[in-house]
Amino acid sequence: MTEESFNHGGMIYHQAKQMGVHPTNVLDFSANINPLGPPVSVTTAIQRALPMIVHYPDSTQSEVKNTLADYFGLRSSHFLIGNGASEIIDLLFKALNPKRIVVFEPAFSEYKRAAKRHGIPVLQVPLWKTQDNLWRVQGKSAPNPTELYNYEMLKQSLRRYTLVLRTGDVVVLNIPHNPTGLCFHLDSWYLLAQEWMQQGVRVIVDESFLDFLSDETRYTAIPKATDSESLFVVRSATKFYAIPGLRFGFAIGSSTLFQKIERYRDGWSVNQLAQVAASAAYKDREFQRQTHQWLETERAHVVRLWEAHPKLTLYMGKVNFFLLHFKNTELGSQVEEFLRTRNIMIRNCRNFEGLGASFYRVAIRTHNENEILYKAITDYLDGCK
């Protein structure tokens, strides 16, 4: 598989090979991984579990299901465990067998890839008409760490697309939204989703980045999913707990559908180290507190660094990444190539419908690393005529 056929952040092995360096020498802002992780509790649990790799993994994932059930206050039967959120999406698409997948663009490319694997048509619809509709602060479009998203515009867009939905469709929502980092309050979309579900549409809500919000209860659809046969929430431990190399994701929803899925899926797709790591991670409340504190501080710092530069525009969301928009594609490409000479990666948004190659998604990392990136980019821009 080439990088072109699998366009995703975090392609560190491929990029390191091109740069001629070891992956540990690459500063990766292209993948939105928590720089504080993995937690010590997780690495300790992995070390203790190493002797168990001589056995097959627990195909019922009972320990980690019980941990998640305690964490979310739910029954363990409401959880479907997978080898990352990508496998969960794949399993849901196969089980739901929709007539179409409806994706609001720009969106994570895996939704369309998974649909293609199962031969399911995809209806791509724009979430907005122009970039100016992304942010609204006191009636004006502007990047700001305390932005008020134009929720009325969102409601209008979703209501407009209600007319094109059909019985048997599956709608995928992404909250927090990737790649913009915007978050949509539950009350900004759920009433419309209820209308969709009443006409035979199922809804999948990808909440893979929601752990980064200390006030996630305002946004999560989990309480709704456990009472519905048509609503499913997808979560991931990859980003918040920094374990993308282990892969761990899960869904919350109908125990009836999950029992059906368990009958035909690969029961050993979630390795034992991933199960142990996730179980330790969701018990580590102190790491969660430290992450929320770090992100609050660094988001504000990122805004102070980037908001005034005349040659680019910052779009700041609510989670651990942001968008940079260069005045044209050529300048963005020049900056990206310059960063490669410094062994730095950022994520070009060329395959995100509605954004394009002049946009770049950038992860928020440690204070020092954020400073390094800012200096590298501004040194280049300030040297341009």
Contact between residue 63 and residue 275 where contact means Cβ atoms under 8 Å apart: yes
The pair of three-digit structure tokens given for residue 375, joined into one six-digit string: 């200096």
Condensed to tens digits (0 to 9), the pLDDT of residues 319-346 reads 999 999 998 999 999 999 999 999 999 9
Condensed to tens digits (0 to 9), the pLDDT of residues 109-144 reads 899 999 999 999 999 988 765 555 554 332 333 344
Number of other CB atoms surrounding residue 275 within 10 Å: 24
Condensed to tens digits (0 to 9), the pLDDT of residues 254-264 reads 999 999 999 99
Contact between residue 154 and residue 127 where contact means Cβ atoms under 8 Å apart: yes
User: With 50 as the cut, is the pLDDT of residue 6 above it?
Assistant: no
* Domain annotation for the chain: domains and CATH numbers: 8-38+286-380 (3.90.1150.10), 40-284 (3.40.640.10)
The pair of three-digit structure tokens given for residue 161, joined into one six-digit string: 């697309």
User: With 90 as the cut, is the pLDDT of residue 9 above it?
Assistant: no
pTM of the complete model: 0.92
Q: For the chain, what is the mean pLDDT?
A: 88
Percent of the chain with pLDDT over 90: 69
The residue whose two tokens read 């990444």 is 321
- 351's CB contacts (< 8 A; 6+ apart) are 7, 109
Q: How many residues are there in the chain?
A: 385
